[in-house]
Amino acid sequence: MRAIALLIALSMTMFVAGCGDDDDGPTGPGASAEFEVIQPTVDSYTDSDIAPTISAQALFDNLNDGDASNNPTIVSVRSAAHYGIGHIEGAINIPWREVGDAAQLAKLSKNDDIVIYCYTGHTGGVATTALQALGYQATNMKFGMSAWSKDPAVRVATPFTEANDANNFPTETTVNAADSYELANPDYTAQDGEEAILMAAVENYLVDGAPVITAKAVFDNINDGDASNDPIVVSVRAEAHYALGHVPGAINIPWRSIAKVENLEKLPTDRQIVIYCYTGHTGAVATTALNLLGYDAINMKFGMGSWTQDATVRVAAPFSEAAVVGFPTVQ
């Protein structure tokens, strides 16, 4: 059903784009034809009831329920070397920067459910969102390999810890008004057709886009005394959770509505946009969506869990070692 809905959305976009011009398209004055293809496609994923993550426990239970007919395709988006150290049995390997490569995509079917996993959940969110934009039914395993294995050698990357990653930076409850900007104008005019435009958007971001920035780097930037290099900070948490406390100066655009035209008009195209959520996962979705649309966005690693130690402001609990069962891997 999701694949059918995506095809309908793309067909409607092609029809409308073919009836107008770049100066006055259906998404607003100045929107490029490429924007008019990418925006409704991305929005069809973010503004849906598709769950952005699946827990390691839920995936393990699925794979071991005795019914192989409902098993998803599992994709490790870690590097080939790290896949070789250990991976979920049956998983294939497509490094996250290569999920837009045609040869790698040939390993996947748009008819199958796909579970993506990475290291701590961040690049898995990037890969999942990119695949969704390309018409695949992908879900990100929450907290990545850190939630599946207890073995540090297999994990490779160190997961969130209170000692190493939790800061105690200030928050505010002021509701900050957003400014108004022109929409992004991605240019993939060399591409012929909607599928080619979407592939180009994915490849353009994945080739060298930085997936995360630390909370400390964000704090240092906005407190360095030079406002000219400050990013726009966006909380993609729920409005009620934004009200509990947010990064000073941040505006609020809940992640499910990040690709709405009226919200994109709140974002600049000439400044970096720092996105943050709860633990980094939905932040990765929003960040990827914006980059596909031509914005310069980056996800704050570990979300609000890394900015404050206040459990009330965090809302969602960050990664906890105590919650990891420790499931088997193969080489």
Kindly give the pairing relationship between strand 28-29 and strand 24-25.
antiparallel
On the question of pLDDT at 11 being above 90, the answer is no
200-228: average pLDDT? 96
Q: Is 3.40.250.10 the CATH number for 194-314?
A: yes
Q: Give the pLDDT confidence score for residue 5 in this predicted structure.
A: 41
The letter for the amino acid at 132 is Q
How many residues are given for the chain? 331
Give the C-alpha separation, 128 to 115, whole Å. Answer: 8
Find tokens 């193969």 and name the residue.
330
**How would you label 196-205 residue by residue, b for 16+ Cβ within 10 Å and e otherwise?**
ebbbbbbbbb
Distance CA 185, CA 43 (A): 17
36-79 pLDDT tens trace = 999 999 999 999 999 999 999 999 999 999 999 999 999 999 99
Are 232 and 48 spatial neighbours (Cβ–Cβ below 8 Å)? no
**Alpha carbons 232 and 297: distance in angstroms, whole number:** 9
pTM score of the predicted model: 0.90
The amino acid present at 195, given as its one-letter code, is E
Residue 133, classed as helix, strand or coil, is helix
For residues 297 and 176, what is the distance between their CA atoms, to the nearest angstrom?
19
Helix axes 194-206, 33-46, angle to 10 degrees: 80
pLDDT in tens, 142-196: 999 999 999 999 999 999 999 999 999 999 999 999 999 999 999 987 778 999 9
| All structural domains of the chain with their residue ranges | 194-314
**Structure-token pair, residue 216:** 């400390």
Quick one: pLDDT at residue 190? 76
